[in-house]
Homo-oligomer: A and B are copies of this chain.
């Protein structure tokens, strides 16, 4: 139950981030909603397509989709107020990201994926929506060049898989994985961690 609530918190944060990008690109209400919904459900849809869960849960049941749509509409009408919540949205986004990475890994294992596949598909669940959002508005995905986002996601899914491998229950693994991923992400944001760039070519 708490997990369900937390997952919708993540959906709200993801949809808000997508819708805000849409507003900043001056899209109309439908473009904003489309971008918000794609960002919120994209990762889960990619996960289900990779695992052969048809049709994808986020399309087939109403809570995720409805939450994403309502959030996008609210952002469209109240975006000046929402923009001021950038900090809060980043925190919610970090929690959602952690939860998606962990739950993606658990769902992948339950669908018969190998440990490696569960780590990779969990991380993909967490980063898929953001990558889709950036590709749709024709920008290079943030996580490729600026954001330490994929590393925390991979840590979250890997910790979850390790917990289950060591005999913890899925629920406990989910909590430990989510906390790991979200903590690393928030630390990275707070301390402005960046990974090293390539050395400048000697030529």
Contact = CB atoms under 8 A, between A and B. Distances in A.
Interface stretch (A8-16, A91-99, A132-140): A132-140
Interface in A36-85: 45, 49-52, 54-56, 59-62, 65, 76-77, 79-80, 83
Contacts of A120: 59, 65
Contact residues on A (Cβ < 8 Å of other chain), bracket: 35 or more
A131 B62 CA distance: 24
A144 B29 CA distance: 9
A136 B145 CA distance: 11
Given A27-B145, A138-B138, A117 B50 contact: no
A34 interface: yes
A169 interface: no
Interface in A16-36: 22-23, 25-32, 34-35
Contact of A137 (B27, B32, B140): B140
A192 to B, nearest CB: 13
Interface in A69-126: 76-77, 79-80, 83, 108, 111-114, 116-117, 120-121
Given A55-B51, A59-B117, A108-B55, A195 B29 contact: yes
A77 B83 CA distance: 39
Contact of A79 (B62, B145, B198): B198
Interface in A167-203: 194-199, 201-203
A144 B27 contact: yes
Contacts of A62: 116
A151 interface: yes
Contacts of A195: 28-30
Of the candidates A23, A28, A150, the one having the most CB atoms from chain B within 10 angstroms of its own CB is A28
Contacts of A140: 25, 136-138
- The 3 lowest CB-CB distance pairs between A and B, nearest first, are A52-B54, A28-B195, A31-B144
